[in-house]
Amino acid sequence: MGLKQDFVLRRLEDQGRFLARLILGKEEAKYELPEYEAIDNEVDRLYRKILSLADAGEINEAENLLLEELETGDLQMFEMALCFYLHLAHMDEEFLEEHQYTREEIGEGMESLAEDFGVSGLEISMGK
């Protein structure tokens, strides 16, 4: 990973920790799925689905599904969505590019998520 990409990843991670503290009152967002899918709730099922889509390269489709299903005011949903964007942030740069997605879009997604949950005026600099 190049120096610029390493910087951008750290900025996204820092932003994730900031949002976790601000909205969740936690040091970091950590959405954990149950070991067995049979006991998944709706948010768990959605998280499994969007991770599967993203990992298969269907990142835009995964994000669209997340945004369609997002319920503002549900903190479990917020934490899951934030963890989704952090999962994307850790993807290989070439994989993101190959599937028409950028780290800038990840930052924009996190900003939009924060706004949906009442935090506005947040700007994540991508070190351009």
- CB 47, CB 33: distance < 8 Å: yes
pLDDT tens-digit series, residues 40-90: 999 999 999 999 999 999 999 999 999 999 999 899 999 999 999 999 999
pLDDT-based confidence at residue 91 (cuts at 50, 70, 90): very high
Checking if the pLDDT of 125 tops 70, the result is no
Secondary structure (DSSP) of 96-121: HHHTT--HHHHHHHHHHHHHHTT--S
Secondary structure (DSSP) of 42-69: HHHHHHHHHHHHHHTT-HHHHHHHHHHH
Report DSSP state, residue 36: S
Q: At what angle do helices 59-69 and 75-89 cross, to 10 degrees?
A: 170
Identify which of 89, 87, 106, 110 has the alpha carbon closest to the alpha carbon of residue 9.
89
